[in-house]
Amino acid sequence: MPGEDSVPRVLRDAGEDDSGGYVVGVRESTDPESWSMLFMECYDAGGEHGIDPGMDSYCLVVDPGQVTCYGGVRECEINGSELRLVLAEDAAATLGLPIEQCFVLDLPAQQIGLLSRGLRRVLTSGRHDLAPQRLVV
């Protein structure tokens, strides 16, 4: 499991993928082995078969390690070139992150816009009671 000491302060790449379920992510660099965090949209929450309880929300995946947590973002804010996340205590522990984390976004304006739109889409998917209490993106 990643530890707080391995979490980068600056993120230099962002992207999205909508080929299966929607995913938006940020990473330390374009190196495939670099630290990353993916935000995955809840898949088919309103579908015919439903989803197992606990998996009926967006999820976060931190790499290396593919550590996964469903829900858990209390606040998410992009202010200029900074991403601020506040996580629930259990989500922070699972992901190996501090409860409150600020990242410098060393990204072109186009990627910051993509990240803003993607975070709004993902973090409002699934159960409404697990959506962030503060979402300013």
For the stretch 26-41, pLDDT in tens is 999 999 899 999 999 9
Would you state the pLDDT for residue 54?
A: 63
Tally of domains within the chain: 1
Residue 122 maps to a domain: yes
Pick from 105, 129, 110, 88: which is nearest to 37 by CA?
105
Residue 135 maps to a domain: no
Structural domain boundaries, residue 115: 4-128
Would you state the pLDDT for residue 1?
A: 46
Percent of the chain with pLDDT over 90: 80
Residue 94 maps to a domain: yes
Report, in angstroms and rounded to the nearest whole number, the Rg of the chain calculated over CA atoms: 14
Residue 136 maps to a domain: no
Residue 86 maps to a domain: yes
The answer, yes or no, to whether residue 16 has pLDDT greater than 90, is yes
**DSSP SS3 for 18:** coil
Residue 134 maps to a domain: no
Cβ atoms within 10 Å of 9's Cβ, excluding its own: 9
Residue 137 maps to a domain: no
Residue 133 maps to a domain: no
Mean pLDDT value across residues 129-135: 94
pTM for the whole structure = 0.89
Query: 70: which 2 tokens?
Result: 């469903």
For the stretch 71-111, pLDDT in tens is 999 999 999 999 999 999 999 999 999 999 999 999 999 99
Identity (one letter) of the amino acid at 41? E
Would you state the pLDDT for residue 112?
A: 98
Percent of the chain with pLDDT over 70: 88
